[in-house]
């Protein structure tokens, strides 16, 4: 099978080919025609992208996905083939001038304010404010939702897992194979890192997004060896580079006898194929040898084989990097393995063996993670795939993108389902803080209002409350930052690692009760008196 023509050039250096203008719902295109026919394509409109409830029964979310949105806006342009496809699904008598308008579209009239990535986000507070020509900003709805919702969801999920694990455990994301296709996996890896994971198994996330990548070997590597294989070159030079090369496989057999005697095992018990596999891996990675212990029997095969190879490597000055357990009671096995490491370290006088990292994986969820991270656990590295990437407790964040103003006039969806009513008007958002730096509440107000002043009392309407409350912030932070103005990027986006650090900083300022993963105290989002009055007027059917 020959490679496709053109495979050599990088067809998609930024990994954004999947996000293209037609990655949208058809109704965006039909509405575009409706706006255009109504002479409203250029009306200045503003949309807000927000969520209505925090995910996973928690009281916070992390904002993420902005960098992908900016990439998308930058490349937004309908090609001839795109316009031709739209023509094939729109009425045949649609004016050519409409398609010419589409063909010429770009985001040069679009302005985006947004929470910086890694910010704490709360219900109703815009993650993105997008303004520009009505037709264009309408077309952006679906792709922006697609780029922000899952990114924020998985970042929040990662942050929860990090809260459970504590700051010391190393957390590895390994969910690529459980994601919704290729890009789902890339998004998951990127934003799990932002949310607090240390690394990912996903090589593409390393290449395209700079996420640290990690990984050693799978069961197939181990079971691919029957034990009769002869390595082409079994000789290994000492780590320091001086001294003669040594037959590693031969030394392993010598060490195996000592290890089996120490563990009270017969020397025939450890699986020969597994040992040959470990030797092969150690020859390739003498400085990064990890043992995967459970292809046959952890206690009677994987562990003794690992020790024999690790000790033979140790003679040459190489230190193994650890072991991985992938089935059974991981906490209990880690304890056993640590016990054996300790006795073997003493027996064979190799102190580093005692503290070798123990990595675990196997469908770990929040509950199991809490167990693995408990006081006294001997687990050092935890790999999480499915329950991180698929967010099984709530697999969608349910972000929405709602029109709040057209031509400077507020707009509101007044459906009888009050939960789905929107907050009208172009807004500003502030975070009010106490004198100790702790968060008091988030305030939404109309864009034209004066910002709240530190030290001054103001009356606000907590969402859903029947009466206002007074609050006197010691500090006030403006939440929405201008990133894109009339299509121009205003300042460079922070790197992924910077956003990751910002996420941890943001979380550290949130009070513990808001961070409880079950039945947390809800964080307050409030409206200014003017905004509340506008909502009331519009609900009553009056003029804005």
Q: Which residues lie across from 172 on neighbouring strands?
A: 199, 383
Pick the closer one to its own copies by CB: 25 or 253: 25
Minimum gap (Å) between residue 488 Cβ and its own copies:
6
Beta carbon nearer to its own copies, 58 or 175: 175
Question: CB–CB of 395/180 below 8 Å?
Answer: no
Name the minimum Å distance from CB 203 to its own copies: 4
Rounded least distance, CB 145 to its own copies, Å: 4
In the complex, least distance from residue 9 CB atom to its own copies, rounded to whole angstroms:
8
CB of 14 to its own copies, least distance (A): 8
Burial label for 200, CB within 10 Å (0-12, 13-18, 19+), is: buried
Closer Cβ to its own copies, 27 or 352, answer by number: 27
List of E strands, 385-530: 400-406, 409-410, 427-433, 439-446, 458-462, 469-471, 475-478, 481-485, 488-489, 525-528
Select 78 or 344, whichever has its Cβ closest to its own copies. Answer: 78
Nearer to its own copies, 167 or 541 (CB): 541
Residue with tokens 């990439």: 71
* C-beta closer to its own copies: residue 12 or 257: 12
> In terms of Cα–Cα distance, which of 231, 61, 72 is closest to 144?
72
d(CA 494, CA 484): 14
Asked if residues 531 and 446 have their Cβ atoms less than 8 Å apart, the reply is yes
Minimum separation from the CB atom of position 410 to its own copies (A): 10
- Of 85 and 516, which has the nearer Cβ to its own copies? 85
Cα-trace Rg, the chain: 29
Q: Which residues contact 144 (CB under 8 A, 6 or more apart)?
A: 49, 69, 72, 128, 130, 401
Report yes or no: 145 and 137 within 8 Å, Cβ to Cβ.
Answer: no
Nearer to its own copies, 37 or 459 (CB): 37
* Shortest distance, position 241 Cβ to its own copies, whole Å: 10
CA 492 to chain centre: 21
In the bound state with its own copies, the residue whose beta carbon lies nearer, of 26 and 513, is 26
Q: In angstroms, what is the minimal distance from the CB of 49 to its own copies?
A: 10
Least Cβ distance, residue 413 to its own copies (angstroms)? 5
**Closest of 120, 55, 189, 171 to residue 496, by C-alpha:** 189
Contact 116, 63 (CB under 8 A): yes
In which element (H, E) is residue 200 found?
Answer: strand 199-200
CB 291 within 8 A of CB 297: no
């Amino acid at each position: 099978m020959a490679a496709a023509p053109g495979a050599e050039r990088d067809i998609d250096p930024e990994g954004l080919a999947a996000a293209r203008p037609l990655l949208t719902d058809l109704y965006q295109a039909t509405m575009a025609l409706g706006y255009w026919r109504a002479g409203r394509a250029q009306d200045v409109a503003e949309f807000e992208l927000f969520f209505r409830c925090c995910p996973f029964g928690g009281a916070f979310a992390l904002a993420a996905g902005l960098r992908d949105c900016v990439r998308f806006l930058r490349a937004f342009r309908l090609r001839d083939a795109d316009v031709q496809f739209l023509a094939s699904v729109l009425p045949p008598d649609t004016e050519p001038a409409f398609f010419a308008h589409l063909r010429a579209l770009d985001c040069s009239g679009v302005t985006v304010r947004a929470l910086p990535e890694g910010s704490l986000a709360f219900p109703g507070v815009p993650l993105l404010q997008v303004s520009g020509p009505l037709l264009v900003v309408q077309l952006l709805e679906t792709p922006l939702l697609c780029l922000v919702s899952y990114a924020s969801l998985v970042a929040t999920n990662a942050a929860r897992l990090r809260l459970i694990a504590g700051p010391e455990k190393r957390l590895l994301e390994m969910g690529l194979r459980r994601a919704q296709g290729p890009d789902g996996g890339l998004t998951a890896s990127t934003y799990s890192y932002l949310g607090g994971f240390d690394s990912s198994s996903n090589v593409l996330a390393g290449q395209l997004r700079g996420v640290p990548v990690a990984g050693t070997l799978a069961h197939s590597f181990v079971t691919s060896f029957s034990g009769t294989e002869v390595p082409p070159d079994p000789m290994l030079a000492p780590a320091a580079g001086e001294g003669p090369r040594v037959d590693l496989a031969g030394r392993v057999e010598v060490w195996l006898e000592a290890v089996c005697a120490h563990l009270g095992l017969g020397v025939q018990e450890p699986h020969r194929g597994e040992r040959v596999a470990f030797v092969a891996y150690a020859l390739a990675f003498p400085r990064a040898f990890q043992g995967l212990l459970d292809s046959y029997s952890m206690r009677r095969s994987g562990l003794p084989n690992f020790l024999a190879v690790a000790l033979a490597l140790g003679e040459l000055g190489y230190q193994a990097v650890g072991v991985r357990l992938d089935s059974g009671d991981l906490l209990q096995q880690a304890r056993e393995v640590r016990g054996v490491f300790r006795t073997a370290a003493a027996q064979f006088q190799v102190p580093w063996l005692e503290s070798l990292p123990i990595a675990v994986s196997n469908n770990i969820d929040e509950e199991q993670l809490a167990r693995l991270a408990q006081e006294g656990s001997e687990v050092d590295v935890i790999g999480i795939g499915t329950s991180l990437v698929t967010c099984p407790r709530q697999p969608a964040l349910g972000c929405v993108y709602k029109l709040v103003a057209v031509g400077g006039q507020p707009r509101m969806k007044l459906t009888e389902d009050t939960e789905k009513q929107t907050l009208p008007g172009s807004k500003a958002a502030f975070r009010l803080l106490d004198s100790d730096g702790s968060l008091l509440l988030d305030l939404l107000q109309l864009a034209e209002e004066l910002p709240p002043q530190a030290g001054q009392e103001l009356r606000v309407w907590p969402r859903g409350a029947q009466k206002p409350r007074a609050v006197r912030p010691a500090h006030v932070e403006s939440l929405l930052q201008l990133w894109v103005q009339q299509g121009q990027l205003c300042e460079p986006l922070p790197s992924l690692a910077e956003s990751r650090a910002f996420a941890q900083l943001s979380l550290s300022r949130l009070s513990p009760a808001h961070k409880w993963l079950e039945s947390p105290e809800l964080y307050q989002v409030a409206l200014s008196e003017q905004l509340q009055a506008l909502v009331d007027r519009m609900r009553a059917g009056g003029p804005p």
